[in-house]
Amino acid sequence: MLKLFGALMTFFACAALGVWLQRRLIKRVQVLDSILGAFAMLRTEISFLQTPLLSATEKIAAATKDALFTKLHMHLRGGKLPSDAMQGALSELGCVLTNTDAAVLLRLSLQLGSSDAESQVQQIDAALEQLRLQRINAQEAANTNGRLYLASGMLLGVLLVLLML
């Protein structure tokens, strides 16, 4: 009976690992969707409304409830430069973004608030395009690798159970 219980626990632990890895890939797609929407709003705030960066991030954080923009606004309100604020927000977020995703956001943050509205809009447009490509890649990875992780976790669990018996 104890051996069966241990086998079941081993199987479910491995299956849970596969599910966790799959959900991590799906979460990246959701986070990128949220960031794309928030930066589209930032583009509007800067280009049409000429809203200062601090006020724009506050409006966007309140409207979208995006975790990145909420943390970004908190850092900007604390007096940090946009690049330092983005770095802090990304590190606090502890999210599922890849280094490439973060690099795009950090590159953009170097331009925010330091040039005229037209230049900032151009930089936002370039970053949005890169993030859209990253989102497409993330979706493909979630579709292919997600199923692979799920199946691998379950198969690993079955293999370990068979080895235990």
Model pLDDT for residues 60-117, shown as the tens digit of each residue: 988 888 888 889 989 988 888 888 889 988 888 877 888 899 899 999 888 887 778 8
pLDDT confidence of residue 151:
92
6 within domain boundaries: no
Write a three-state SS string for the chain: CHHHHHHHHHHHHHHHHHHHHHHHHHHHHHHHHHHHHHHHHHHHHHHCCCCCHHHHHHHHHHHHCCHHHHHHHHHHHCCCCHHHHHHHHHHHHCCCCCHHHHHHHHHHHHHCCCCCHHHHHHHHHHHHHHHHHHHHHHHHHHHHHHHHHHHHHHHHHHHHHHHHC
2 within domain boundaries: no
115 within domain boundaries: yes
Domain that holds residue 122: 11-164
pLDDT confidence of residue 130:
95
pLDDT confidence of residue 131:
94
On the question of pLDDT at 2 being above 90, the answer is no
Q: How many structural domains comprise the chain?
A: 1
34 within domain boundaries: yes
99 within domain boundaries: yes
Position 142: which residue type?
Answer: A
148 within domain boundaries: yes
28 within domain boundaries: yes
pLDDT confidence of residue 9:
93
3 within domain boundaries: no
